[in-house]
Amino acid sequence: MLWRDGAITPGTTAPLDHTDRGLTLGDGLFDTALALSGRVAFADAHIARLVASAESLGIPAEPERIRAAMRALAAQGERLAIRTTLTRGSGPRGLKPPEDPRPTLFATAAPSTRAVAFAPLRLWPTAIARNDTSPASRLKTLGYGDAVLAAREAASAGFDEALFCNTRGHVACAGTGNLFALFGTTLVTPPLDDGVLAGIVRAEILFELAAGCGLRAEERSLSLSEFLGADAVFLTNSLRLLAPVTAIGDTAFPGAGHPAVANLMAALRARVARSCGVAADLVA
């Protein structure tokens, strides 16, 4: 279903100006959030990130319109994946942004299943480099060409997701999520400067949940060889929540069999349940 201009319509088809810069140049942003029983998990964080990202690109954003779109769609089902898209709007030919942009805001909702949350993944290290020199690497922009190519490559190799290193050879992220590596009781995730999106669940793990699970969390650059030496690895995003990684290429990992990973999964399940006001068993 689709939210556009304050109204919800079935399906996902609506008129769009074909000179919209989101369509022609990828000049825009998006956000993906999980909604359970009518409430968006970590809604304030999702809205704040989208608004801050839009400000950095010079795209006007109205937080209350974004909230209204998310809330309206969240009320349409028990478990939904909500994607909110904001573009700079239409403009003349050329790259230079219009001086007075008229943004386009729309949002869609699709059913999400509990089976997606906390499901294990196998990662394929792609040779495509994450461009950490670009400010866009730290934003959820509409330009996902490299991720699409890497996803196709990973699938062809028999894996679920691609793992990206950046131009300096440091592990950056997966195609659709942040990465964490566990070394003893130290939990490490790449810093944003390595070309990393400030993920919503990443922040929950890093700043809210790790310490309560007896882990010392830190942001630190790691080479791929260092990353492969971890005791356990997992991926986070707003729909998968925390996906235990069972393999990176030929290197195997224990996944949810590692006690610290299992503890973090339980803590995150409870955190999402509280955010949405539901029982933990409805999360996954």
Residue 170: DSSP 8-state: B
* Torsion sign, CA atoms 221, 247, 200, 68: positive
Q: Helix, strand or coil for residue 109?
A: strand
What are the C-alpha distances in Å from 15 to residues 4, 12, 231? 10, 10, 50
What are the DSSP E strand ranges found in 224-271?
Answer: 232-237, 241-248, 251-252
Give the model confidence (pLDDT) of 110-131 as tens digits: 999 999 999 999 999 999 999 9
Give the model confidence (pLDDT) of 165-224 as tens digits: 999 999 999 999 999 999 999 999 999 999 999 999 999 999 999 999 999 999 999 999
Query: Quick check: 72 and 108 in contact, CB under 8 A?
Result: no
| Predicted structure pTM score | 0.96
What gap in Å lies between CA 140 and CA 199, rounded to an integer?
Answer: 9
Q: Report phi then psi at 54, rounded to 5.
A: -60, -40
Place of tokens 């949002």: 107
Percent of the chain with pLDDT over 70: 100
**Domains present along the chain, CATH in parentheses:** 2-111 (3.30.470.10), 121-282 (3.20.10.10)
Query: Quick check: 74 and 46 in contact, CB under 8 A?
Result: no
Give the model confidence (pLDDT) of 239-264 as tens digits: 999 999 999 999 999 999 999 999 99
What gap in Å lies between CA 229 and CA 68, rounded to an integer?
Answer: 45
180 Cβ contact partners less than 8 Å away, ≥ 6 residues apart: 187, 188, 189, 202, 205, 233, 234, 235, 236
